[in-house]
Amino acid sequence: MSRADFGSIIGQLVSILLDRAHGSIAKQAENSTVADLPIWATPLELATRDRSVDVAALRSHLLPTLFKRNATDFSYFLENIGLHELLDLSTDSMRHDNNVQMNLLCAVLQAGKNLDIGVRDRK
């Protein structure tokens, strides 16, 4: 089995697991005031920062699967990883130490573009 096939299989497995968990997560969220962040958002961002995952593999296999399930998660995830802060040229947000986060941002935007999911301006 090639590495690409394995990545695709893992992406499909994650989608199945999230679909199964969706009902119980939705019931818990009804009584919650926490932001509408998908359950996978924080672990994915932390794994990327720790360099535990390959961003290119995420862009090819996992991100499209996650965003196909729920396009709204795309917007929430972009906001969570700091889209507007990273692109704000008036701040020092483009420092070298943000390189990993910028790579994740580019991967997320590319996956969204490939799925024809747009980004709305928050103004």
Q: pLDDT confidence of 107, banded at 50, 70, 90?
A: very high
pLDDT single digits (tens) 46-74: 888 888 888 888 888 889 888 888 888 88
First to last CA, the chain: 47
Average pLDDT score over residue span 72-96:
74
Does the pTM surpass 0.85? The reply is no
